[in-house]
Amino acid sequence: MTALVLVEVENGEVRQASRSAIAAASRFGDVDALVFGEGADAAARLPGIARVLSVPSLANELAEPAAALLASRAKDYSHIVAAASATGKNILPRLAGLLDVQPIPDVIEIKDAETFVRPIYAGNALATVRSADSIKVLTVRGSNFDPVAKDGGSAPIETLDAPAGETSAFVKVELSTSDRPELESARVVISGGKGMKDAANFKLLEPIADKMNAAIGASRAAVDSGFAPNEMQVGQTGKIVAPELYIAVGLSGAIQHLAGMKDSRVIVAINADPEAPIFKVADYGIVGDLFQILPELEKSL
């Protein structure tokens, strides 16, 4: 069997989530990588890659042409895999529709080539599913698979043309820049909730994050209130993280947020409400005023 992995490249490097997807796909046999835009060379250096399919003319990963291209190559593969990222969740369901197969999202464990484990009910239960489709289309959670190394391979590169006739068009992209680690791969994450009260107070997290080399996250309530941008959202409808240390500040612990971080190795909660649900999953809890605790934590660090 051969698997095809949709590989995401950012700033000249393959994203950790995609390297985890490659590790997962290697369970099925040989692995080919598909790269849109630039970055084929970075993918070719990954260990375990048999061949890289490069589509330099499709730099913006639009779902319509990307899914059409994948569908045209699908017959050569038993499994098509992507990270459970915004890109993977955008493209692979459309591909599954074109192939008339059932997509299997958010896989956290691979039992065998046909059997997978995925969370349901916001992570409160795990479902073991078996697919009889001839082509399995799945996204995997990067936090549940150890990523392959960045170097060690030398796969050949084959260049493909983007399919013609698709009607979607790229307009623009707006990206925020940060020197901090990527949220999904950071060793430490500190997140703020609605208890931060406003966007200005969110900056209280920054000096602590800088001292701990941590990424900054946010709850959905904080994002919806305009305290933080959407790309910082952690949770079922945001990013799934599982760092070594997760610090939840002013964050009640709604079920959709817990679904995105409860697999963290150590969870620290800071909240004025001793009955907040976040304390039920926290390893350490501090009940108190975050506006007093954060400056003391920064000073101690």
C-beta neighbour count of 77 within 10 angstroms: 23
Collapsing DSSP states into helix, strand and coil, what is residue 159?
A: strand
291/249 Cα distance (integer angstroms)? 10
Query: Does 16 appear as a known binding residue?
Result: no
For residue 111, the tally of other CB atoms under 10 A from its CB is 12
Q: Do both 231 and 98 map to the same domain?
A: no
pLDDT confidence of residue 138:
97
Does residue 257 have a known ligand-binding role? yes
Check whether 220 is labelled as a binding-site residue. Answer: yes
The whole-number average pLDDT for the span 210-228 is: 95
CB 225 within 8 A of CB 240: no
Q: What are phi and psi of 38, to 5 degrees?
A: -80, 160
Known binding residue 118? Answer is no
Same domain, 123 and 54: yes
Residue 259 within any structural domain of the chain: yes
- Was 79 annotated as part of a binding site? no
Q: Distance of alpha carbon 250 from its chain centroid, rounded?
A: 24
In a domain, 181, yes or no: no
293 appears as a binding residue in the annotation: no
Report the distance separating Cα 118 and Cα 104, nearest Å: 8
CATH number of domain containing 204: 3.40.50.1220
Structural domain tally of the chain? 2
> Would the annotation count 256 as a binding residue?
yes
Is 252 annotated as ligand-binding?
A: yes
pLDDT tens digits for range 246-287: 999 999 999 989 989 988 999 999 999 999 999 999 999 999
Is 253 a known ligand-binding residue? yes
Residue range(s) defining the domain that contains residue 232? 188-300
Residue 54 domain-assigned (yes or no): yes
Whether the pLDDT of residue 166 is over 70: the answer is no
Q: Which whole number is the average pLDDT over 183-208?
A: 93
- Quote the pLDDT of residue 27: 94
pLDDT digits (tens, 9 = 90+) for 76-89: 999 999 999 989 99
Does 168 reside within a domain?
no
Same domain, 214 and 124: no
